[in-house]
A and B are shown apart, each in its own frame.
Chain A
Amino acid sequence: QVQLQESGPGLVRPSQTLSLTCTVSGSSVSTEKYYWTWIRQPPGKALEWLGYIYHRGSAYYNPSLGSRVAISVDTSRNQFSLILNSMTAADTALYFCVTQDSDTYFFDSWGQGTPVTVSS
């Protein structure tokens, strides 16, 4: 079972950039078995898939985020990261890092989630 742990700031000012990191144990981020994914959940709302990166370094993002989002991977640290620019109150959410099975596209291992609030 893969273990995932998110880290990052709990509070971000409007218009600033969010940077979150997910530390992976129990698997290598270089594996072909998983895509490394970010999902968020605004308070009291449904889940939203933000995007993923896979072992070759290619990333796919939710078009709803436009050019604000980027996901990268650090193989030396066995981590992957999320960058979200131009934060607004609508980006306030619980952010999860997740493994996405590369064959079935389901989400099987989840971090505990890290809350992010956008406020001045």
Chain B
Amino acid sequence: DIQLTQSPSSLSASVGDRVTISCRASQTIIKYLNWYQQKPGKAPKLLIFHVSNLISGVPSRFSGSGSGTDFTLTITSLQPDDFASYYCQQSFTTPLTFGGGTNVEVK
């Protein structure tokens, strides 16, 4: 199975901060890396697919980058609605796997 390691597991930030979340794969997944946002008690919401493709309606302050085994989700100016957990997911091969998550909390 492809393991996805996210870092940090949690972070504290303020509105307006730039936030960066890392996702590292145990083997190359080329470009097949997706990002989700999840709020407590809710289903995850797809933000970005295949590294950097923003889903329609997702604010442009969200962006993704990377290739191979190292990937990054960046929020350029954190907004109140962005405090949530974020998960990466590889769609390169089955079993499809998720990272352990990053919880973005209010500082």
Residues of A in contact with B (beta carbons under 8 Å apart): 46-49, 60, 62-64, 96, 100, 104-108, 110-113
Contact = CB atoms under 8 A, between A and B. Distances in A.
A111 B95 CA distance: 21
Contacts of B46: 106-108
B43 A113 contact: yes
29 contacts: A46-B99, A46-B101, A47-B44, A47-B87, A47-B101, A48-B98, A49-B96, A49-B98, A63-B1, A96-B43, A104-B49, A104-B50, A104-B91, A105-B96, A106-B34, A106-B46, A106-B89, A106-B91, A107-B36, A107-B44, A107-B89, A108-B46, A110-B43, A110-B44, A110-B45, A111-B43, A112-B42, A112-B43, A113-B43
Nearest to A63: B95
B100 A46 contact: yes
Which has the most chain B C-beta neighbours within 10 Å: A47, A48, A110? A47
B60 interface: no
Contacts, number: 49
Nearest to B33: A106
B32 interface: yes
B97 interface: yes
Given A107-B46, A111-B43, 17 more contacts: A46-B87, A47-B87, A47-B98, A48-B98, A49-B96, A49-B97, A60-B94, A104-B50, A105-B96, A106-B34, A106-B46, A107-B89, A108-B46, A110-B43, A110-B45, A112-B42, A113-B43
Nearest to B98: A47
